[in-house]
Structure 1
Amino acid sequence: MPRRLLQRYMPHPETLKRNRSLRFMSHWIGSPSLWVLSRRGVANAFMVGLFSALLPIPFQMVVAAFGAWLLRCNLPLSVGLVWITNPLTMPLIFYGNYRLGAWLLDTPAREVPDQLSTRWVAEQLLEILPTLALGSLVAAVAVGLVANLGVRLLWRWHVVRSWKRRRHHRRRRRGDEPSA
């Protein structure tokens, strides 16, 4: 995995420690194990971040931060991935989760009216909540596990490709291989 690319966009722990609003948890944020960019740490951060993002709950970033602390994976990456469900994508993702839950429970899914309003959602919320919760939990677990495996495989592929490239360059320098 391109470690340098990830490091370029990650905030520095010292910057966050000095932030006035985060100062109360600076000892927790500054733990070196939460900032390491290793294959395990990044894969688990993707798992935690995407799992938290797909849950229809408030304070998803807090859940992701706690999960990162619990699994000792990359904190900024897991918290940042929560923003996959932003105000633009959230309705589509949660509707898909609801449809998945309806399919799993073998119940007919409610159709969205032509004029979607917050009033309609509030009226329907108690009835669709169990279906949405089940669909979201199943989707979160599945996406989290697939992301974890995918990142590990991608990281491994990147490392093997780097090894082969270095071996090729060494052979060319020694004159073992003709340059193509």
Structure 2
Amino acid sequence: MAKQFLQTWLPSHDKVASLKLMRLLGKHALNPLIWYINRHSIAKAVFIGTFFGLLPIPFHSVFIALFACIFEVNLPIGLTLAWLSNPLTIVPIIYLAFWFGTKIYHVNMINKDMILGVLHQIEHWIMNFGHGHIDFSLAKILISGLFIEAFIFAVLFYTVTLILWRLSVIRAWNKRNHSF
């Protein structure tokens, strides 16, 4: 079953609680509910981890840990999904976000030069601690698209997790019934 697989695959409670990130959470890191493995805890952790994992924001693991503690969902699963945005996936994530944004604002799909220009403006703005110019007409398309994309994929992965968990339980029941 999925629960036994996750219990063997996930790191131990003590190992994750000793991480520096977990020290920021203090006593909340020792809450047994954020280590609990059941269908709803895992599915909600998948939602939180996918949502923040698809947003290319700094320190998204901190947001995942914070929301996992607030909603008392499985923390290791949520933190694992923080790796959704990485150097290999960031380009498709941003491209799809621009596509969603163009559909929201009813504009034509922008080309590569426009995307690179916006990313350069955002990078310059961050490096100069908020000083600089950003063409917000394109940035709002990207930001809106990122949030819509993150929400859609989080709902999709949440639903798929619930379905797959249920199917694994049904398969285990059928296997047990056929063995008698």
What TM bracket, shorter-length normalisation?
Answer: 0.7 to 0.9
1:121 to 119, 127, 142: 119
Task: Report the structure number with the largest CA radius of gyration.
Answer: 1
Residue equivalent to 2:173: 163
Q: TM-score, normalised by structure 1?
A: 0.82
Deviation at 1:15, TM superposition (A): 1.9
Pairs within 5 Å for 1:20-169 = 22-113=22-113, 121-123=119-121, 126-127=135-136, 128-169=138-179
Q: Secondary structure at the match of 1:109?
A: coil
Inter-CA distance 9–121: structure 2 relative to 1 (3 Å threshold)? same
Residue-by-residue CA offset, 1:26-64 (whole Å, 9 max, x unaligned): 422121000111000000011111111122322211111
Q: Contact 1:3/1:37 (CA < 8 Å) preserved in 2?
A: yes
Q: TM-score, normalised by structure 2?
A: 0.82
Deviation at 1:23, TM superposition (A): 3.6
Identity of aligned residues (%): 26
Deviation at 1:169, TM superposition (A): 0.4
Moved more, 127-136 or 22-31: 22-31
Give me the whole-angstrom Cα distance separating, in 2, the residues matched to 1:120 and 1:126: 7
Aligned length: 167
Q: Which runs of 5+ in 1 are unaligned?
A: 171-180
Residue-by-residue CA offset, 1:110-136 (whole Å, 9 max, x unaligned): 2114xx96x773247534210011111
Aligned-residue RMSD, C-alpha: 2.2
Q: Secondary structure at the match of 1:158?
A: helix
Inter-CA distance 4–45: structure 2 relative to 1 (3 Å threshold)? same
Deviation at 1:141, TM superposition (A): 1.3
Moved more, 134-143 or 16-25: 16-25
Corresponding letter in the other structure for 2:158: N
